[in-house]
Structure 1
Amino acid sequence: MGPVIRPTADAPGTDHPDRLPDPLPAEAPLAMPVQSFAEAPAAAIDTPVRTGRWRRALVMVATAVLTYAGVDEMYEVLKVGGVTILEGIVLVLFAALFAWVALSFVSGLAGFAALLRGWRDNLDLDPDGPLPTVKARVAMLLPTYNEDPQTVFARLQATRESTDATGSGAQFDWYILSDTTDPAVWAHEETCFLAVASYTPRLFYRHRADNHARKSGNIEDWVKRFGGSNDFMVILDADSVMTGDALVRMAAAMEQHSDVALIQTLPVVVNARTLFARLQQFAGRMYGPMIAAGVAWWHGSESNYWGHNAIIRVEAFAACTGLPILSGRKPFGGSILSHDFVEAALMRRAGWRIHMAPTLRGSYEEVPPTLLDFAARDRRWCQGNLQHAKILPARGLHWVSRLHFLTGIGAYITAPMWLTFLVAGILISLQAQFVRPEYFPKDFSLFPIWPAQDPVRAAWVFAATMGLLILPKLLALFLVLVRRDTRRGFGGGLRASAGLVVETFMSALTAPVMMIFQSTAVAHILMGQDSGWQLQHRGDGSIPFRDVARRYALPTAIGAAMAISALLVSWPLFWWMTPVILGLVLAVPVAMFTNRSASARPALLATPEDLAAPPILARVHQIAVTLPGSGDEDPLVMLRNDRRLLDLHLACLARQAPRARGRVDTDYAVARAKVEDAASFNEVVAWLTKPEKRALMGDRDLVSRVVAMPPASALSSG
C-alpha cells in the first residue's frame, strides 16, 4: 500500500513538511439575503420551458385514471346496503393512499420506458463521452457533525485524488466544515487535517463556534465568508464519495448550461455492514435507477435537491436561498430542517433550472446500519418535511416545487393513514361481528364477507393494489436482466431474481414496523416534540437485545392487539391480515436478525459494487487505516502534548468571529471559573465536563492559559 498522501509539485509546504498549513484561504464574502415567502421576487433569469408539458400531463392523467378506477372499484365493494360512517372513512383513506401508490407506479413506469430506450437525462449529460476540461473554480464542501474524522478525511482525500487524476484537480478547492460539538472529535479532526493538509493543496478546515441552523447554517456561513471565490460548489455528506470523472462532467455541464443552478446525482449505496443495510443497498441499486429516471424524465428543469452529492451554482444559491426563521415554536417553527427541498424551490422560483442526472456514475453514499438508526434519521426528516406545510403557500413557487413539498409530507402522513385504514377495517369487522349473528360463511374462505360488502371485488382491489406495488420491482429486474453488464454485476440473472424475492419478503416484514415508527413520529411532532440534532451511527449495527426489545415493544404490542381483534371476528380475517400482523409480532427477532453483520461478498443481495468494488472505495479504506486514530486521549492533553496541533487550533480560533459581548455561555462561564480555581493542568482536565471542555477549546486565550499550566507532578515535586 502506498503512502497516504501523494505530494504534488505545486503543493504548498512540500519543501517544509513541518510548516503549519493555513486552515483557511483569504475571505471572499458573498451576500446571502434572507428570502421572503410572502412576496415573489422578480425572476433572476428568464428560463424557457425545456421539459415537454406533455410528459407531466401524461403522468398526471394516468395517475388520475388509475386512481378513479381503484376508488370506483372500492366504492362498489362498500356501497352494497349503503356506506356507513366507518366505511366512508375507509373509502376516503383508500382514495388518498391509492392515488399515492398510483403516482409512484406511473412515475416508475415512465422511468422504465425512458431507460429502455436509452434516455440519459434532460441535460443529455453523457457519462461515457470524452472527459471535458473544467475552467471554473469548484468548491468541495463537506459539512460534518461529530462524525469519525478518520473516515471523513479518507473519503474526501480519495475523492480529491480521483479528481486530480482527471487533470482538472487544480480547479477544485476542498473544505471540511465542522459543526462538531464533541471536544475529542474536534481535536481528532484537527489531527487528521494536519496529516492530510501538509501535502495537499487547497485543503481547508473550519470549525464553527455557533452551529445555528445546523447544516444549512453551516453552508450559509461558508457562502457569506468564502463564496465569492468559487463559481460552483459540490455539497457532500460525511459518508459521501464521488469520482473525479463524475465531478468534472457535472462542472462542465454547469459551464455549458448557464441557466442551470443545480444538478443532483443519484448516489449509489455502498459498504453495507449489516443485513438491514444490505437490503437497503440492494433495493437502491436494483430499483433506484428506474425510479430516479422516471422522476427526472417528467420533473425536468423543476427537479429536486437531496442535500448532498449535488453541484450548485454559488451565485444562484447566494442570491435565492437565504432561509428565514419560521415563526412559531418548534417543531414547526425555528430553523428549516429539510432545507434542501426549499433551496431548490427558491432557486427555481427565481428562474434557475434544477436538474437530476440519474445515469451519471461515480456518486456513492452509505445508509444507517439498522432499522432503529434509520428510524432515528427518518424522525428528523419527518419533522423537516412536515415543516414544509408552512412553506407550501409561499408566493411564486412553481407547481412542481409545491408537488415536491406535498410528496415529502405525504411520505410520512401516509404511515398513520395506512394504520388508520387498517384499524378502521378491523372496527368494521368487529362492529359487524357483535351487532349481527353471522358475518362469515361456515365454509372456510380467505376473504371475509363483511356486512353489505362484495368480497370478490375486495379481492380484486387488493390484487390491483399489490400489483401496483410489485410490478415496478419486476420492471426494474427486467432492466437488469436485459443488460449483460448489469446482469453480471448482480451476479447473474438467477442471483438477481433471488435477491429481489428476498428483499421483497424482508421489506414486507419490516414495512409494518416502519409504519408504526413513522406514525409515532408524526404524532410526537404534532404534539410539539422537537427531534433535536442526533449523531448518525454508521457502524456495524451492534445493539443490545434489551434496547431492541424496549424500542420494538410498541410495534409488537400493536401486532398482538391486531391479531386478537382479528381472531374475535374469524380465522379468515386473521389470515387476511397476516402480512401486517406477522411483521409486527416478529419485530424483535426480525430486528435482531437484520442487525447482524453481513458478508462483504454475499451469495444473495449482491450489487455490482460488491462484486467489483470501484477503485475509489478501496482507496478510502487504504487511506483511513493510515490516518491518526482517535484513541482515548483527552483533547486538552492532545493540545498540550502536540505543539503543531496546538498552533493549528489557535490559528483556527484566530479566524473565528469574536464572541458576542453581553451573551453569557453557561458552559464557558463555568469552565473559566474552574480554570481560575485549578492549581494544575491535571485538575482542569479532571474537573471539566465535555460541554465545558468544548467551550474552553473555543477561546484562544483560555486554551493558551490552560496548556501552559503546570502538571500536578510539578507541584508535588516542588
Structure 2
Amino acid sequence: MDAVTDRVPLGSIPADCGPFLPPTAPLAMPVQSLGAAPAAAKLGFSPRLLLRRLFVIGGAAALTAVAACEMYAVLEVGGLTALEGLVLGLFVLLFAWIGFSFTNAVGGVAAMIGRSRSLGIDPTAPLPPLAMRVALLMPTYNESPARIFANLQATWESLQDTGAIDRFDVFILSDTTDADIWVAEEAAFLDLRARIGSDRIFYRRRPRNIDRKAGNIADWVTSFGGGYEAMLVLDADSLMTGSCILRIAAAMESHPRVGLIQTLPVIVGGQSLFARLQQFAGRMYGPLIAQGLAWWHGPDSNYWGHNAIIRTRAFAECAGLPHLPGPKPFGGHILSHDFVEAALIRRGGWAVHMVPWLEGSYEEAPPSLADLAVRDRRWCQGNLQHAAVLPSRGLHPISRLHLLTGIGSYITAPLWLLMLVAGLLTALQARFVPPDYFPQGFALFPTWPSQDPVRAAWVFIGTMAVLLLPKLFAYVLVLGDRNARRGFGGGIVALVGVLTETLIAGLAAPVMMIAQSGAVVTILAGRDGGWTPQRRGDGSVPLGQTFRRFLPQTLFGIMLGAAAFAISLPLFFWMSPVILGLVLAVPLVQGTSRRSRLLLRLGVLSIPEERAPPPVLQRAQQLQRELEARNEEQEAVVRLAASPTLRHVHYAMLPNGGERAAGDYHPDRLVARAKVTDAASLPAALGSLTAREKAAALGDGDALARLIELAAAVEQTR
C-alpha cells in the first residue's frame, strides 16, 4: 500500500496523461415496452423458496387477520360508527405493513442461524480468479471531488491488493452542472491518475444530464458497454473493498443466468448524532432485515441503485427505461429507476440476487433530519411514479411486490396521520357529541357509543411488540456473536445504543410522518420536487431555516396536544410520545444535527467499523483529509488560466473540441457566448452569467477562449 501511496506526490499533473476515454464499444440498449412482455427464459422452480414466501406473506396475513379481529372487538361495542369503521380499516392496512416487516425479520433470524447463502459466495474462502472484464462506474452530480476521488483511490488500491486489478477499469461519469466543481473534477481526475500511476481510470462529463443518473448509466452502456461483461455501479459516497468486488464479480462469471448481485452497504463516516443514529440502526438491524429479504426473495431480489454488480448485456437488453406518459411529477423519466431496472432485468429471465452476508460494501447517510426530509421528498416522488409501472406486462409477482413496498413506504405516512386524526375525532365524538341512543327505526336495544379499553390496551401492546421485536431479535443475534458483540462495545453498551436509537427514532417518527404526508400531498397535487445534490459530512442547519421548515410539525403538535388534553388527561398521556416529538421538532432537528461528544466518549452508538476500521475505510478517510487540505475551492476560469495542462485537457475533453455542432441552438450557450464577448473584464463577465450559462460558456470553445483572455488580462495588471 505504501508503494502505491508514494508513487507520485499529491497535486502533480503529468503533461502526458494518456487517453481520457477508451475506444468506444457500443452496445444497443432499446427502450423497453411496459405494455408488452418480451419472451424470456424461465428460472428453475424452488419448493423451499415457495415455502419461505408462504411463511413471510402468509404469516403477515395471518397476523393481520388476528389483529383485525381484536381491533374490531375493541370498536364494535355498542355498534360500529362511521369514524370507528375508518379507524378499523386504516388499522388493518397499517398493521399489515408492520406485520410484513415482522415476518421478514423472523425469516432473517432463520437465515442468520442457518447461515443461508446463495451463489456459493463464501467470504472466508480464498479469493477466486476472474477472467471477465468489469467496469466500475462512478456517476456524480455536483459532489465534492475530494470525497469522490478519495473513495475511488481507496477502492482501486484495495483491488490492487487482490492481484486482479488488470480485469477492472474505472469510469467517472459526471453530470455536474456547477462549473467550478466541473473543472475541479477534471483536476482531481488528472491528479488521481498521477497518484495511482494508471491510465485505466477514465472521465466523461455530459453537457446535459438527460434522464439524470439512469440516463448517465445508459449513455455509458451505449458508448462503452460492449467492452465489458459486467459493470459495478457506485454512488458518490460508495466505498468497497477489492475482496467484495472480486467475489461478486466471480460469482456473476460462474452463474451465467445471473443479471444483478446487490450487496448490503454498511453506513459509515457518520459525524452528527443523526447520522450516527442511522449508522447504528443500519449496522445493528440492517443485516437481519436484509438477510430476511434474501432468504425469501431468492433470485427475484431488488436493486438499490449502487454497490451492485450488473451483467452489462442483461442491463442493455432489458433495462432501457421508457418515459412515462403525462406531465411531471408522474410523467417523464423514471426517477427511482433502480427498482424498475431490477424488475425489467428479472422480467427478461435474468436472476437478481442479494448477498447481505458479504462484508466490504459501504456508504454514508444524510447528516440531519432536514437532509433526510429533502432526500425523502425526491424518493417519494420516484416511488409514487411506480404506480404507473405496476401494470406492466410480464413482471414477476415478487417484482410487483417490490414496487408496491416502495409505494407503501411513503403512502403509509399519510395513512398513519389519517388514523391519528380519525382516532382523535372518535374520542372527541364520545366526549362532546351527545349520543343518539334511540336512532330512527326499530331498535330492540339503545346504541351506546363505546369501546373496550382493556382489549384496546392489549391490541396496543401487541402492535408495539410486532413493531419492536425485530430490534430485539437483532440485538440477541449480536449478543450471540462474540465478534459482533465486541464491535458494538459489549452487550451493555449495545443495549444502551438500542434504547437511545429507539427513543430518538420514536420522537423523529411523527416529524417524518408530517414531512412525508406533505410530500405525498404536494406530489399528488402535481408539484415536481426537482433533484438537488445530497449534503454529506456536516449536518448543521441554521436555526431560522429549521424553524421555518419544521414549524408545521410544531403547530400540529400543539393543536394535537390541546385537543387530547381537552378530551381527557389519560388520552393526553397516551398520545404524549407523538405530541412530544412534534412539539420538539425544531430542537430535535437542531440537536441531532450536531455531534454528541458525551455519547462518543461513552462509545454509545458505535459500530464495529468504528472500533476496528477496515483498511479501505482508513485509507479513504486519510486521502480525503489530504485532498481537502491541498485543494482549496477555486473559481473555474481562474483555475484553468493558471494551469496550461489542465486547460489543454479541458479543451480536449469537450464534445467537438468546444465547437458548436450544427443544429445546436441551446439558449444558455448562445447567451453565454454573447455576454462573454461583450464583457470588458473577467469580473464583469462572470457577474453577468447565471450558473447554467457559466457551465455553457466553459463548454464553448470561443466563450472559454474569451474568458481565459480576460483572466490573463487580470494577471498582467498585478
Match of 1:615 in 2: 615
Supply the distance in 1 between the matched residues of 2:273 and 2:234 (Cα, whole angstroms): 26
Match of 2:260 in 1: 262
- Displacement of 1:705 after TM fit? 4.2
Match of 1:79 in 2: 76
- Displacement of 1:627 after TM fit? 3.1
**2:539 matches 1:538:** no
- Displacement of 1:201 after TM fit? 3.4
Query: One-letter code of the match for 1:380?
Result: R
Supply the distance in 1 between the matched residues of 2:181 and 2:582 (Cα, whole angstroms): 38
Q: How does 1:50-89 map to 2 (within 5 A)?
A: 50=46, 52-89=49-86
Check whether the contact 2:79–2:449 (CA below 8 A) recurs between aligned residues: no
Q: TM-score, normalised on structure 2?
A: 0.94
How has the CA–CA distance of structure 1 residues 686 and 62 changed in structure 2, closer, same or farther, with 3 Å as cutoff?
closer
Query: One-letter code of the match for 2:75?
Result: L
Q: How does 1:578-617 map to 2 (within 5 A)?
A: 578-599=576-597, 603-617=603-617
How has the CA–CA distance of structure 1 residues 637 and 713 changed in structure 2, closer, same or farther, with 3 Å as cutoff?
closer
Question: Given the alignment, which residue of 125, 132, 135 partners 2:131?
Answer: 135
The structure with more helix, counted as a fraction of residues: 2
- Displacement of 1:666 after TM fit? 2.5
**2:110 matches 1:109:** no
- Displacement of 1:156 after TM fit? 0.5
**2:409 matches 1:411:** yes
- Displacement of 1:52 after TM fit? 2.2
Query: One-letter code of the match for 1:586?
Result: L
SS of residue paired to 1:124: coil
Check whether the contact 2:270–2:537 (CA below 8 A) recurs between aligned residues: no
**2:226 matches 1:225:** no
Query: One-letter code of the match for 1:46?
Result: K
Query: One-letter code of the match for 1:48?
Result: G
Supply the distance in 2 between the matched residues of 1:194 and 1:415 (Cα, whole angstroms): 46
Query: One-letter code of the match for 2:187?
Result: T
Supply the distance in 2 between the matched residues of 1:46 and 1:426 (Cα, whole angstroms): 51
Supply the distance in 1 between the matched residues of 2:44 and 2:660 (Cα, whole angstroms): 47
SS of residue paired to 2:692: helix
- Displacement of 1:704 after TM fit? 3.2
- Displacement of 1:211 after TM fit? 0.1
Match of 2:705 in 1: 704
Check whether the contact 2:673–2:702 (CA below 8 A) recurs between aligned residues: no
Q: How does 1:414-493 map to 2 (within 5 A)?
A: 414-436=412-434, 451-493=449-491
Supply the distance in 2 between the matched residues of 1:146 and 1:27 (Cα, whole angstroms): 26
Greater mean deviation of Cα atoms: 77-86 or 670-679? 670-679
Check whether the contact 1:639–1:646 (CA below 8 A) recurs between aligned residues: yes
Query: One-letter code of the match for 2:44?
Result: P
Supply the distance in 2 between the matched residues of 1:99 and 1:168 (Cα, whole angstroms): 47
Check whether the contact 1:4–1:627 (CA below 8 A) recurs between aligned residues: no
Match of 1:11 in 2: none
Check whether the contact 2:259–2:315 (CA below 8 A) recurs between aligned residues: yes
- Displacement of 1:380 after TM fit? 0.6
- Displacement of 1:703 after TM fit? 2.0
Q: How does 1:157-168 map to 2 (within 5 A)?
A: 157-168=153-164
- Displacement of 1:622 after TM fit? 2.0
CA RMSD in angstroms, aligned pairs only? 2.1
Q: How does 1:51-450 map to 2 (within 5 A)?
A: 52-119=49-116, 121-198=117-194, 199-436=197-434
The alignment covers a number of residue pairs equal to 699
**2:655 matches 1:647:** no
How has the CA–CA distance of structure 1 residues 464 and 156 changed in structure 2, closer, same or farther, with 3 Å as cutoff?
same
Percent pairwise identity: 54
SS of residue paired to 1:263: strand
1:186-221 deviation per Cα after TM superposition (whole angstroms, max 9, x unaligned): 010011011111322310000111101110000001
Greater mean deviation of Cα atoms: 684-693 or 499-508? 684-693
Check whether the contact 1:20–1:644 (CA below 8 A) recurs between aligned residues: no
Check whether the contact 2:657–2:701 (CA below 8 A) recurs between aligned residues: no
Question: Given the alignment, which residue of 563, 566, 575 partners 2:564?
Answer: 566
Supply the distance in 2 between the matched residues of 1:714 and 1:230 (Cα, whole angstroms): 46
SS of residue paired to 1:174: strand
1:647-703 deviation per Cα after TM superposition (whole angstroms, max 9, x unaligned): 111111146898664453222222111122134555434433332210111123432
Supply the distance in 1 between the matched residues of 2:81 and 2:399 (Cα, whole angstroms): 38
How has the CA–CA distance of structure 1 residues 432 and 218 changed in structure 2, closer, same or farther, with 3 Å as cutoff?
same
Query: One-letter code of the match for 1:406?
Result: L
Check whether the contact 1:272–1:598 (CA below 8 A) recurs between aligned residues: no
Supply the distance in 2 between the matched residues of 1:597 and 1:708 (Cα, whole angstroms): 47
How has the CA–CA distance of structure 1 residues 388 and 713 changed in structure 2, closer, same or farther, with 3 Å as cutoff?
closer
Check whether the contact 2:677–2:703 (CA below 8 A) recurs between aligned residues: no
1:468-518 deviation per Cα after TM superposition (whole angstroms, max 9, x unaligned): 011110110000001111100111111111111111111111111010110
How has the CA–CA distance of structure 1 residues 161 and 334 changed in structure 2, closer, same or farther, with 3 Å as cutoff?
same
Match of 2:444 in 1: none
Query: One-letter code of the match for 1:610?
Result: E
How has the CA–CA distance of structure 1 residues 378 and 659 changed in structure 2, closer, same or farther, with 3 Å as cutoff?
farther
Query: One-letter code of the match for 1:622?
Result: Q
Supply the distance in 2 between the matched residues of 1:399 and 1:656 (Cα, whole angstroms): 49
Match of 2:28 in 1: 31
Check whether the contact 1:122–1:297 (CA below 8 A) recurs between aligned residues: no
Supply the distance in 2 between the matched residues of 1:7 and 1:49 (Cα, whole angstroms): 53
- Displacement of 1:630 after TM fit? 4.8
Q: Which runs of 5+ in 1 are unaligned?
A: 9-13, 440-449
1:106-137 deviation per Cα after TM superposition (whole angstroms, max 9, x unaligned): 00011012102222x22231111111011110
Supply the distance in 2 between the matched residues of 1:715 and 1:192 (Cα, whole angstroms): 27
- Displacement of 1:275 after TM fit? 0.4
Query: One-letter code of the match for 1:25?
Result: P
- Displacement of 1:550 after TM fit? 1.2
Check whether the contact 1:331–1:383 (CA below 8 A) recurs between aligned residues: yes
Match of 2:42 in 1: 46
Supply the distance in 2 between the matched residues of 1:222 and 1:656 (Cα, whole angstroms): 20
Query: One-letter code of the match for 2:610?
Result: D
Supply the distance in 2 between the matched residues of 1:230 and 1:601 (Cα, whole angstroms): 48
- Displacement of 1:539 after TM fit? 2.4
Supply the distance in 1 between the matched residues of 2:179 and 2:509 (Cα, whole angstroms): 38
Check whether the contact 1:24–1:206 (CA below 8 A) recurs between aligned residues: yes
Query: One-letter code of the match for 1:605?
Result: L
Check whether the contact 1:681–1:711 (CA below 8 A) recurs between aligned residues: no
Match of 1:690 in 2: 691
- Displacement of 1:32 after TM fit? 0.3
Query: One-letter code of the match for 2:27?
Result: L
1:414-473 deviation per Cα after TM superposition (whole angstroms, max 9, x unaligned): 00000000100000111111124999xxxxxxxxxx932111111111000000011110
Supply the distance in 1 between the matched residues of 2:531 and 2:471 (Cα, whole angstroms): 34
Check whether the contact 1:4–1:626 (CA below 8 A) recurs between aligned residues: no
How has the CA–CA distance of structure 1 residues 577 and 191 changed in structure 2, closer, same or farther, with 3 Å as cutoff?
same
Match of 2:500 in 1: 502
Q: Which runs of 5+ in 2 are unaligned?
A: 438-447
**2:20 matches 1:19:** no
Supply the distance in 1 between the matched residues of 2:541 and 2:716 (Cα, whole angstroms): 45
Check whether the contact 1:179–1:208 (CA below 8 A) recurs between aligned residues: yes
- Displacement of 1:618 after TM fit? 1.0
**2:662 matches 1:666:** no
Match of 1:447 in 2: none
Query: One-letter code of the match for 2:162?
Result: T
- Displacement of 1:327 after TM fit? 0.5
